[in-house]
Amino acid sequence: MNKLVIAATVNGDPVEFLTDPGGSLLDALREELLLTGTKEGCGSGDCGACTVILDGEMVCSCLVFAAEAQGRQIATIEGVAEGGRLHPIQRKFLDHAALQCGFCTPGFIVAARSLLDRNPDPSESEVRYWLAGNLCRCTGYDKIVRAVLDAAAELRQERRVEGELAA
Amino acid sequence: MNDLSGKIAPGPFHHVGTRPVRPDGVEKVTGKAVFGPDFSVAGMLYGAILRSPHAHARIRGIDTRKAAALPGVKAVVTGADFPDLESLTVSAGESSGDIIHISRTCMAHEKVLYDGHAVAAVAATSARIAQEALALIAVDYEVLPHVLDPEAAMRDDAPLLHDGIFTKGIEPAPERPSNVPMKVALARGDAAAALAGAAAVAAGRYTTEFVHQGYIEPHVCVASWNADGQAQIWASSQGHFSIRALTASVLGMAQADIRVHPLEIGGGFGGKTGIYLEPVAMLLSRKAGRPVRLAMSRGEVFRATGPAPGAVIELRIGAAADGTLVGAEIDFIYNAGAYPGNTAHSGLICALGHYRLANARITGWEVLTNRPAVKAYRAPGAPQVNFAVESALDDLATQLGIDPIALRLKNAVIPGDAQPTGVPFGQIGYVECLEAARAHPHWSAPLGPNQGRGLAGGLWRSHGGPSTGEVGLAEDGTGLVAAGSPDIGGSRASMAIMAAETLGVPYEQVRVTIADTHSIGYSMVTGGSRTTFATGKAVIEAAEQVIATLRQRAAAMWNVAADTVEWRDGTAIRADGERLSIGQIAAKAAFSGGPIAASVGLNAAGYLPGFAVHICDVEVDPETGHVGVLRYTAVQDVGRAIHPAYVEGQLQGGAAQGIGWALNEAYAYDAQGRMENAGFLDYRMPVASDLPMIDTVMVEVPNPAHPYGVKGVGEAPIVPPLAAVANAVRAATGKRLPDLPLTPDRVHAAVHG
Amino acid sequence: MARVVVTPSFRVEFPGDLAEFDIEAATVFDLVRRLDALWPGAAAFIEAKVSIAVDGELIGDWSTSLTRDSEVLLVPHIAGG
């Protein structure tokens, strides 16, 4: 069985990688592209540790065929920080101690970013339901939710300031 | 000898009690941290394990020839490749076990004892080829009847798992083997008479099911065993020294021949204190002459690692009219899965340890069934029996018309009271926790229709034990701490805080490494609520030795007596006020005696139990039986919170696990004894939308045996939630539900039944 | 003679379901040696499964001295998670 060659864009960079026809995008990211920040927790789309953004939509990369990534844009945890500058979500996770073992953290950060990109002022309930597809066993979610709400507030403030400067 | 033990450092503190960013934080929020599955090495092969589809069977033969012949397959291993072992009880993680059972857990020999039991393994040049090879292995099973229920397993006609297990603790000693490794019993006073004379008696039969620790990172390791007998293992675990010791015992190796590298760990909670994959990966590696990665899928984690035991608990507990507990009779059965553990001891000690009770009779049985052998899950053995006791106390409070907190305060243990072991309690804080719960606004907040509030208290005896800590200075005076305790929840931050506090330097000037087994002396596992206490003590003592050296070096540089040099705020101070900073002294270390470093190995004594009190509000939907958790408060005596945010995290995480245990989680089996819900869809753990914010109250009754007053905190939080939730459901519905989990169908039936 | 008290969980491990007994020993190391001589396998069992308390305090250092008034408790080394 021959492997397929897939060309896609990952975190803004053009990439090419090989995959078995039945291989998952998760395996391609981790094994072929050595982007091991995205994790496998279950392989069945139930834990969210493999969350990536595919053409703007939040997906479980373990449920996406690598072949489906042909010609598409993928954003992973490795692309959230800009160079050496942490994204506010990342900083708030650290400030709020919203991680203990840290294994689920990449999935949460990508999912949270996806939320705040489309809903800059979510309620606590909206945050909880958006993140209901991401399992955490260490924290009980309290500090994660606080970190996301705090990041949302900071991002809104940044946009207000940018808006004022632009005006 | 160090005379600094037994004295708590006086405050105020610069770093202890603050909330700095953890040293490994940036790596973890950017995806750079290398967890178990993220590690690879040149030339690595991919392993896969063939597992039994039968709950109980004899292995008549295994034919691996076709698998071995598949192009790309480099090694095949079965139980026959494991050395023969003599029965020997070894320390295993925080617990102990027979090395033969540990070996057979890694791979079955004559029999398979549960669905998922490892039978054979292959290593191949790709994961796909490894899976294809598994399908080519032919195992000739003689399927045997299986038993999953512990009461059924105790009957004379039950299918027998082991020929060589004879119940300990019954007289006369039995002649026939059984599925019951142990009966334990404790009796003081006259429980029967006390109950007969009690003003109120609460009785019940309570059951809990198998639950899993549910860490999100599956087990994985990479092993490389060279032709000269030396080996390296890269794995995430709660204790790489435990991996070394157990792997060496199973494979008959010298410990110094195995170097275990600790990778970042994605959760453990007690389930990653032992070995499953390591000896198999080692044998594959030796045969193939190349490194081998072996990883578990989520399904394998559920079926073939170490869940927490299920339990059947019958109890009667009685009180006088004023609420004084007068007597209790408890009979419990812990379902331990396929191999014996220590569950019976835990249940015995933990049942009533938080109350004074003159008359008690407790009898416990450990029973084996065709399920994976149980392992520690945060406070192992305590949540189950605590669920029963705290539910019954709630019923007593209702019968007597006494407030639930008042009832507990009346009987709570205080410093100096005897523990069930006979050892008196030191500076414990159960009373303080109960008072804090009573004072909390949650306790008096109003409730609406179909809502109820429950409370429960519990304890967990934390541990100390052996740890090694090292502190050294770079030439510029910045500090390096090395510890052998994997960081599963922020302990690097705590070590940095304690070292920086002791040295008197900024937190950012102390960096922490988790060193491998070749690079640092032994530490017991990160578990048992011991790390901040025991490894912390070792690190603090090493820092103190470094300070002594710094004072000597400064004295030498000044040509004064060392005992005239003071150390304060990271600076040596001469009697006349002249100063040398840590950086200035370190820069001259080569000329004043050599590099400055200290290593301390100790066995930390003086650890104290943690007490926890939880308050839970639920709302029950009478149409569906769904139980929603509206509000939750976790109160705990933490000794002193070195890094409060990570201590809060332990309280919140343990509470969430307990809530899942109470409401949703359970192993389900089909008629063939196969686990039906070996995945996160149907093994339903709490998600963010299931829970409210979890308020925490950290009561600080410092432990005099630790320089900063630390008590272990990690495990106690999982003890009270089961009863707190069940008592809340009782309050909301008027019905006592004694069987966990409190799934909607059960709640609905109780409400409408 | 130090008095050794066996916690209820462990009585099953000693022949005759022993609850308490006296033994001549200068240190805890000495005590464990003598127990192992009386009941072969006791030392391995104690090392793996037992925590020892002398006069009400759990000790990690087996060089702890024992006197004729010492009370030694053998308690389970409970699994942690």
- The answer for residues whose C-beta is within 8 angstroms of residue B741's C-beta and 6 or more apart is B209, B661, B662, B663, B664, B665, B666
Within 10 Å of residue A60's Cβ, how many Cβ atoms?
25
Under an 8 A CB cutoff, do A37 and B32 touch?
yes
Range of the domain at B437: 381-462+608-752
Residue with tokens 């708030």: A92
For C74, nearest residue in chain B (alpha carbons): B421
Under an 8 A CB cutoff, do B271 and C59 touch?
no
pLDDT score for B393: 98
CATH of the domain at A46: 3.10.20.30
On whether both B471 and B580 belong to a single domain, the answer is yes
Listing DSSP states for B290-321 in one string gives S-EEEE--HHHHHHHS--BPEEEEEEEEEE-T
Average confidence (pLDDT) over A27-56:
98
CA distance B562 to A85: 47
Shortest CB distance from C12 goes to which of B182, B349, B530? B182
Q: Are B552 and B520 in contact (CB under 8 A)?
A: no
Task: Kindly state the tokens that stand for C12.
Answer: 């099953």
Taking alpha carbons only, the member of B716, B708, B215 closest to residue A42 is B215
CA distance B710 to C43: 31
On whether both A16 and A70 belong to a single domain, the answer is yes
Shortest CB distance from B184 goes to which of C9, C49, C80? C9
Contact A137/B at CB under 8 A: yes
Helix (H, G, I), strand (E, B) or coil at B680: coil
Assess if residue C47 is contained within a domain. yes
Task: Kindly state the tokens that stand for C33.
Answer: 């040696």
Q: Are B537 and B467 in contact (CB under 8 A)?
A: yes
Chain B nearest-CA distance from C43, in A, is 10
Task: Kindly state the tokens that stand for C64.
Answer: 């702890």
Helix (H, G, I), strand (E, B) or coil at B198: coil
pLDDT score for B3: 36
On whether both B480 and B454 belong to a single domain, the answer is no
Q: B-chain residues within 8 Å CB-CB of A140?
A: 649, 652-653, 655-656, 686, 691, 694
Within 10 Å of residue A53's Cβ, how many Cβ atoms?
21
Average confidence (pLDDT) over C35-58:
87
C interface residues, B as partner, C-beta within 8 Å: 5, 7-9, 11-13, 17, 44-45, 47-49, 53, 56-61, 73, 75-81
On whether both A101 and A126 belong to a single domain, the answer is yes
Assess if residue B692 is contained within a domain. yes
On whether both B519 and B529 belong to a single domain, the answer is yes
* Counted domains in chain A: 2
Alpha helices for B199-277 (secondary structure H): 240-251
Using the 3D structure, point to which of B546, B577, B604 is the last residue of a domain: B604
What separation in angstroms does the CA of B478 have from each of B15, B472, B505? Answer: 16, 9, 9
CA distance B243 to B275: 6
CA distance B297 to B563: 60
- With b for 16 or more beta-carbon neighbours within 10 A and e for fewer, the C3-35 pattern comes to ebbbbbbbbbbbeeeeeeeeeebebbebbbebb
Chain A nearest-CA distance from B512, in A, is 16
Q: At A18, give phi and psi (nearest 5°).
A: -95, 150
Shortest CB distance from C8 goes to which of B348, B466, B605? B348
CATH of the domain at B642: 3.30.365.10
Do A and C make contact via 3 or more CB pairs under 8 A? The reply is no
Distance of CA A36 to the CA centre of its chain: 13
On whether both A97 and A52 belong to a single domain, the answer is no
Q: At B58, give phi and psi (nearest 5°).
A: -90, 140
* Counted domains in chain B: 2
Assess if residue C57 is contained within a domain. yes
Q: With a CB-CB cutoff of 8 Å, which residues 88-117 of chain A face chain B?
A: 90, 93-97, 99-106, 109
Range of the domain at C54: 2-76
For B98, nearest residue in chain C (alpha carbons): C48
On whether both A68 and A47 belong to a single domain, the answer is yes
Shortest CB distance from A46 goes to which of B680, B690, B693? B680
The amino acid present at C37, given as its one-letter code, is A
What separation in angstroms does the CA of C47 have from each of B88, B350, B366, C75? Answer: 12, 22, 22, 12
On whether both A60 and A101 belong to a single domain, the answer is no
Using the 3D structure, point to which of B604, B622, B641 is the last residue of a domain: B604
Range of the domain at A49: 4-79
Give burial (CB, 10 Å; 0-12/13-18/19+) of A132.
middle
Contact B188/C at CB under 8 A: no
Under an 8 A CB cutoff, do A101 and B648 touch?
no
Under an 8 A CB cutoff, do B605 and C60 touch?
yes
Which long-range contacts does B432-436 make (Cβ < 8 Å, 24+ apart)? Answer: B432/B637, B432/B699, B432/B701, B433/B457, B433/B611, B433/B612, B433/B613, B433/B635, B433/B636, B433/B637, B433/B697, B433/B699, B434/B405, B434/B408, B434/B409, B434/B613, B435/B409, B436/B613, B436/B635, B436/B697, B436/B699
On whether both A10 and A63 belong to a single domain, the answer is yes
Q: How many CB pairs under 8 A join B and C?
A: 122
Under an 8 A CB cutoff, do A43 and B34 touch?
no
| Percentage of residues of chain A with pLDDT beyond 70 | 100
Taking alpha carbons only, the member of B330, B309, B363, B382 closest to residue B150 is B309
Q: What is the pLDDT of residues A52-92, one digit of tens each?
A: 999 999 999 999 999 999 999 999 999 999 988 999 999 99
Taking alpha carbons only, the member of B559, B684, B668, B672 closest to residue B627 is B684
Residue B405 host element (H or E):
helix B404-411
What separation in angstroms does the CA of B665 have from each of A70, B209, B230, B625, B721? Answer: 39, 8, 43, 16, 13
CATH of the domain at A117: 1.10.150.120
Using the 3D structure, point to which of B604, B625, B641 is the last residue of a domain: B604
Assess if residue C81 is contained within a domain. no
Under an 8 A CB cutoff, do A128 and B688 touch?
yes
CA distance A116 to A92: 14
On whether both B453 and B406 belong to a single domain, the answer is yes
Assess if residue B392 is contained within a domain. yes
Under an 8 A CB cutoff, do A131 and B688 touch?
yes
Chain C nearest-CA distance from B714, in A, is 9
Assess if residue B44 is contained within a domain. no
CA distance B92 to B100: 12
Q: Are B277 and B106 in contact (CB under 8 A)?
A: yes
Helix (H, G, I), strand (E, B) or coil at C64: coil
CA distance B317 to B684: 33
CA distance B204 to B195: 14
Taking alpha carbons only, the member of B307, B281, B283, B306 closest to residue B294 is B281
On whether both B414 and B471 belong to a single domain, the answer is no
Within 10 Å of residue C57's Cβ, how many Cβ atoms?
15
Chain B nearest-CA distance from C17, in A, is 8
For C59, nearest residue in chain B (alpha carbons): B605
* Counted domains in chain C: 1
Assess if residue B705 is contained within a domain. yes
Residue with tokens 């109120």: B200
What are the per-10-residue average pLDDT scores of chain B (753 residues)?
52 94 96 98 98 98 98 98 89 78 96 98 97 98 98 97 93 93 92 98 98 98 98 97 97 97 97 97 98 98 98 98 98 97 84 95 96 95 97 97 98 93 90 98 98 97 92 98 93 95 97 97 91 95 98 96 96 96 97 96 91 98 98 96 96 98 98 98 98 97 92 95 98 98 97 91
pLDDT score for B607: 87
Within 10 Å of residue B61's Cβ, how many Cβ atoms?
9
What separation in angstroms does the CA of B234 have from each of B39, B40, B102, B244, B280? Answer: 8, 9, 20, 11, 14
Shortest CB distance from A41 goes to which of B217, B689, B690? B217
The amino acid present at B428, given as its one-letter code, is I
Using the 3D structure, point to which of A79, A104, A124 is the last residue of a domain: A79
Assess if residue B161 is contained within a domain. no
Assess if residue B551 is contained within a domain. yes
Within 10 Å of residue B753's Cβ, how many Cβ atoms?
7
Shortest CB distance from B645 goes to which of A97, A102, A128? A97
On whether both A92 and A160 belong to a single domain, the answer is yes
On whether both A66 and A97 belong to a single domain, the answer is no
Task: Kindly state the tokens that stand for B170.
Answer: 């019954």
On whether both A73 and A99 belong to a single domain, the answer is no
For C52, nearest residue in chain B (alpha carbons): B423
Give the dihedral sign, CA B655/B658/B664/B669: positive
Under an 8 A CB cutoff, do B691 and A103 touch?
no
CATH of the domain at C53: 3.10.20.30
Angle (nearest 5°) at CA B247 between C49 and C78: 20
Under an 8 A CB cutoff, do B21 and A94 touch?
yes
Give the dihedral sign, CA B674/B680/B681/B686: positive
pLDDT score for B101: 95
Neighbours of chain B (3+ CB pairs under 8 A): A, C
Q: A-chain residues within 8 Å CB-CB of B715?
A: none
On whether both B644 and B588 belong to a single domain, the answer is no
Residue B513 host element (H or E):
strand B510-514
